[in-house]
Amino acid sequence: MHGDVRFSCLLLLCGLCSIANAFYIPGWSIKSYSDGESIPLFVNKVYSDNTQLQFAYSELPFVCPPTGRRPAGHNSATLSLNLGEVLRGDRIMLSDYELVMGRDEEARYLCSAKVDRAGLERAKEVVKGGYVAEWIVDNLPGATSFVTTDKSRKYYAAGFKMGYETFDAATGRPELFINNHVTLVIRHRLAPGRDGQQGKRVIVGFEVYTKSIEAGNRNESGLPLDLHNVEKGLELRISPNRTELEHRYADSSYIPEDEDLDDSATLTIPYTYSVYFREDDKLEWQNRWDMYFVNQEDSSTIHWLAIINSLVISGLLTAVVAVIFARTVRGDIKSYKDGDLEKPKKSKKGGKSPRKSAEKNGLLGQLDEAEGDADISSDEELLEDITGWKLVHGDVFRPPPYGGLLAPLVGSGSQLVFMASGLLLLSCLGVLNPSFRGGFISVGIALFIFAGMFSGYFSARVYKTFGGQRWQKNVVITGTLIPGLLFATIFILNLFVWAQASSTAIPFGTLIALLALWLLIQLPLVYVGGWYGYERVGAWTHPIKTNAIARQIPPQTWYTRGLQAILLAGLIPFAVIFIELLFVFKSVWQDKSGYYYVFGFLGACFAILMVCVVEVTIVATYAQLCAENHRWWWQSFLVGGGSAVWVFAYCAWYFCARLRVEGFVSGLLFFAYSFLASLVYGLLTGTVGFLAAYAFVRRIYGAIKAD
């Protein structure tokens, strides 16, 4: 649909080069206007809180479509959209509204749209569905102005209503009205620097006020006779042909009001607008987006509450892990050493004592040599001291079943860790912000593709550690498993969206571009990382050799079993983030403009979450080893990602309790994308948990070996 889709790598490069002046779109400078200079107004899309389907404003059958007229300095009626803008459903086109800096227009006629019955029904659906329109002037979305509850501050809500619904006082019949007149208020101030000295001005606000005005009582130019005292709005209803109705119901005393016998009847909707320029010296250009977030600042107390809640939970877990390391593990190792010093053993046949064997092979070697070299009573005393996690020393590094699947999952998770960390870092620095429309998605895709090297590297090392031999096969699985699942799911969902003619349907050319990015760039990077990790770096070394025969696992307590351990351990990281998740959900699913801005709080929650996942996984792994269960590989990965189950359950609760989503397709999109988001989150946290548990296990068994 839109050509010139810029690839995200270029956007990321521009962003990194512009960190110093990062609040606005990387590569964009301040745009200043001279008096009398034309200001373009772009129309984008319409969206609603009641559905996940968006539509291009210019394609609606009841509005004035852009004619392609271009103001001076603009070479095209459409903007070149970046990849993120296309994926988020933006369809930006230059409108026919004429705005000239400093020139007020009390009333101007735009056009009259003739709407047939099908177009009228579409207009009713848009108005009844609560859709709002997004227009853009100087990269600012048109906003509806509100005041805070204490009436001390004004704030903006992006978009404006397409119409409204009322009920007839006499009959109770619902009446739908279309907003066919807009008042555009452009707030400006003197430009900074040299442009300001030349009298140029910058735009710091764009407000839209709507009104519904009946089609009659207009002059020959199509303008209302009175804009300020409007008695009747324009109802979305085709008036019936009274002559035909009276002829048809000549023998009846009842004539229906809403029946229309003529299928070719149309409704004419005249569109007009007013433009006013107002100077505003209180707001600086670099802070002009603050007006969109004034209302959200009132929730900063809740954000701080979320941070305090996360810190408390993380602090308690830190104390538990400290006890495990400082007292339990070190105490076990110390008792091992002290017991060996206090109970020297003699050999039956002149062999070496276990003390000398310990000096040669480490204390764990006593278990293998005690059978033939020590007397029976000494062996029993020694085995009494060797309990819990020390008994599984010969099996703890045994490769897990289905290790060929675990390695690609860990690799994909490391790729997601890099992407998420990069996005949060760039957001906190200000490179990614609401003014960079589509930047979060574009840069996220670029980071994900670049992180393919990390995916291949970690996957290959884990794969070789498990004893894998066919690293090329592992590379293919790593590069296609998770990206392939994401692409296939999005493609299937896109078919449903295509059928609804929504602007969120990904164009076929964009799908081909995504496929090319995946197969021609990301997959080769995974191959490079896999080759380096497998051939050049190799497997991780283990401090203890693995026994030939696996030790039998005793019966486990209920809380250390698979599903129970995953759910219980996952509940703790979920408790760290669930408050902040509420704001993220509101931004994604309700505020379709997507202007989430508190990345500082989100970054802090993410850091605390990672610490919490590490600590929870270490505690769960230690408890599992103490229960003499050496199958910790998969368990550590699943425990680390266990909170994803609670996140998905939270999504289901949010859908039922907070959203008013209507329609099968909207519900399908919500749960499908929620599942994908939970899967990505689970892979990320599961990988962090796996690597933390692996480091912990190597550390404690390496310490015993060293002693």
pLDDT in tens, 53-103: 999 999 999 999 888 766 555 555 557 889 999 999 999 999 999 999 999
How would you classify the pairing of strands 181-190 and 174-178? unpaired
Lowest mean pLDDT among 52-66, 151-165, 339-353: 339-353
Residues 316 and 206 in one domain: no
In a domain, 25, yes or no: no
Q: In this model, does residue 397 exceed pLDDT 80? A: yes
In a domain, 513, yes or no: no
Distance CA 621, CA 616 (A): 8
Give the contacts of 38 (CB within 8 A, at least 6 positions apart).
Answer: 71, 72, 73, 98, 99, 100, 101
Q: Which of helix, strand or coil describes residue 609?
A: helix
pLDDT attached to residue 229: 86
Residues 141 and 170 in one domain: yes
In a domain, 407, yes or no: no
Residues 131 and 260 in one domain: yes
Residues 64 and 140 in one domain: yes
Query: What is the arithmetic mean of pLDDT over 273-286?
Result: 93
Residues 225 and 158 in one domain: yes
Residues 310 and 196 in one domain: no
Residues 131 and 269 in one domain: yes
Query: What is the arithmetic mean of pLDDT over 411-417?
Result: 97
In a domain, 200, yes or no: yes
Burial class (CB within 10 angstroms; exposed 0-12, middle 13-18, buried 19+) of 194: exposed
**Closest to 134 (Cα-Cα) out of 202, 212, 42, 196:** 42
Greatest Cα pair distance, the chain, in angstroms, is 126
From 292, 317, 339, give the residue that closes a domain: 292
In a domain, 105, yes or no: yes
Parent domain of 212: 32-292
Structural domain total, the chain: 2
pLDDT attached to residue 345: 42
Distance CA 542, CA 47 (A): 56
Are 522 and 452 spatial neighbours (Cβ–Cβ below 8 Å)? yes
Residue predicted with more confidence, 647 or 287? 647
Residues 325 and 271 in one domain: no
pLDDT attached to residue 399: 94
In a domain, 435, yes or no: no
Distance CA 568, CA 624 (A): 14
Residues 247 and 304 in one domain: no
pLDDT attached to residue 110: 94
Residues 241 and 324 in one domain: no
Q: What is the mean pLDDT of the chain?
A: 83
pLDDT attached to residue 560: 78
In a domain, 47, yes or no: yes
Retrieve residue 257's tokens. 């009001």
pLDDT attached to residue 375: 42
In a domain, 498, yes or no: no
Residues 112 and 171 in one domain: yes
pLDDT tens digit string along 437-469?
A: 889 999 999 999 999 999 999 999 999 999 999
Are 191 and 200 spatial neighbours (Cβ–Cβ below 8 Å)? yes
Residues 199 and 246 in one domain: yes
**Closest to 317 (Cα-Cα) out of 690, 646, 619:** 619
Distance CA 177, CA 237 (A): 9
How would you classify the pairing of strands 132-137 and 160-161? antiparallel
Distance CA 183, CA 64 (A): 16
Cα 658–Cα 143–Cα 149 angle in degrees, nearest 5: 60
